[in-house]
Chain A
């Protein structure tokens, strides 16, 4: 197999497989995935629990060797070129791991002592809004603070490549927003980010490209817009009873009213919505709780997770956006 690694590619995964155990008990968690993260971009690996995201990421992190296939980070092998790769990479594991009896400052100091070069502790603490918590023991931190401390360690060396395994799982909305801003800022500084998540909005908000993983395979890959392109947009409102011609809305695929809420699916949101609003004006009806949204990753994701996609996920059966 040839190594393609061009200058602009920071992470490259080719036909990666990872098998746990041997013989009859063997379980193939990652079943041959390809993944590319271009320099200065954010790629989200999206999937349900057990899809194989962490298993794949651990190989990229160099914590595990691949059963088969190739991984290149900054053009190097994360296992054999470990020292060089680690110096330029920041990793955040799915679960934070710090000694409970050290303070925040002591933890950062410990972490900094293991690094070739670091940014000033105070800068990183301030960036993650932990400045006032420096003397607090890790065991007294909230879940959000612990995650931010973990992220502080990840970013302490200003890494070129950042690998984040479910960075915001368990965070409150405010903390999540703060972490998102930080991740977006990394891209703005030209860093490359590969993150796993099972939050669709996280992938939609942050990622330049999304790879949806299911049962060890990547079943869809593309920009969030591409992935949603062949999915229907949705209009929802209440008060349909007084409307006429609801079933003749131009562009509408399905119209259904349930418990007073009407849902319209359409491939042409603007045209359908325009017609709907026209009808409402004509009939002098006020549509309450009106919302209109483009196809989201959600619909793609739910279709895959519920098994509507080919369970084998073989590339030939994949519709919609692929690379």
Chain B
């Protein structure tokens, strides 16, 4: 993989084709565009005034945006195009490997970034505080999306075909869900589940947007405290992103398994 060797012209052209393909497949489109927006409905129904409920809705929206338009979409596009020999064909041209991956991920990344941004005015309009540390929130979103691009590439490497993706994607989905539901687990279990990317993302959103201390649902952190409180989860999330990127680069496959 030659990462620095990218061209915006090539990426734009390929991403445009990928966006057309995503829009043309109704199921892909629903998963990629509609699904991430659904959790925002949690803000409208039920106990929507409490900060705890707000945090849950925002975190779920962000995780859905990472899982569906980015992770699942990139995984399925990568495997389908690989099976169709589209990737091999592209690699005979001027496109670099980096062009191909970025252009496959780009339409989903745009949707995920838009969701992460849209969630701010929607949450505020529905009575939530605006993010306490917007920069940290934005950083959380960026590292999260990068991580899920790398996760998708790793998963694609050991996914035999498009059908198999339903099973091969389970470990990543478990890593995400485990971290989010673990807030209800006893402390000695949480000690371990905190190491999952899902938990790191959950903590980072709670700290950066809502100013929650660990285990609390009250805005107790000051802006100046948020960076220190975010240190460990940010480190964990970054470590996952680095690990997944290294794994992806080592295991990348561009042709169907024979």
Chain A residues at the B interface, C-beta cutoff of 8 Å: 61, 63, 83, 86-87, 91, 93, 95-102, 106-107, 109-116, 150, 153
Contacts and interface: CB of A to CB of B under 8 A. Distances in A.
A154 B107 CA distance: 27
Contacts of A93: 85, 88-89, 92
6 contacts: A93-B88, A97-B86, A98-B84, A101-B24, A102-B21, A109-B17
Given A101-B21, A106-B17, A86 B93 contact: yes
Contact of B88 (A63, A107, A153): A63
Contact of B9 (A98, A113, A153): A113
Contact of A110 (B13, B24, B85, B94): B13
A114 B89 contact: no
B194 interface: no
Contacts of B25: 101
Interface residues of B, number: 26
A87 B94 contact: yes
Residue among A98, A114, A150 with most chain B CB within 10 A: A114
A114 B15 CA distance: 11
Most buried by B among A97, A98, A99, A111: A97
A114 B11 CA distance: 8
Given A97-B86, A97-B87, A86 B94 contact: yes
A150 B24 CA distance: 22
A44 B240 CA distance: 50
B16 interface: yes
B16 A83 contact: no
Interface string B53-87: 00000000000000000000000000001001111
B177 to A, nearest CB: 32
Interface of B: 5, 9-10, 12-14, 16-17, 20-21, 24-25, 81, 84-95, 99
Contacts of B21: 99, 101-102
Contacts of A109: 13, 17
A116 B94 contact: yes
B256 to A, nearest CB: 10
Given A106-B17, A112-B13, A95 B85 contact: yes
A111 B100 CA distance: 12
B92 A63 contact: yes
A50 to B, nearest CB: 13
B245 to A, nearest CB: 22
B89 A99 contact: no
A97 B85 contact: yes
Contacts of A107: 17
A115 B88 contact: no
Contact of A99 (B9, B12, B17): B17
Q: Which residue of B5, B12, B87, B89 has the most chain A CB atoms within 10 A of its CB atom?
A: B89
A113 B81 contact: no
A102 B90 CA distance: 15
Given A86-B92, A97-B86, A116-B94, 7 more contacts: A101-B25, A109-B13, A110-B13, A114-B13, A114-B90, A114-B95, A115-B94
A55 to B, nearest CB: 13
B120 to A, nearest CB: 34
A99 B84 contact: yes
B93 A91 contact: yes
A53 B72 CA distance: 37
B161 to A, nearest CB: 15
A119 to B, nearest CB: 15
B14 A63 contact: no
A91 B17 contact: no
B21 to A, nearest CB: 5
A64 B85 CA distance: 16
Contacts of A96: 85, 89
Nearest to B25: A101
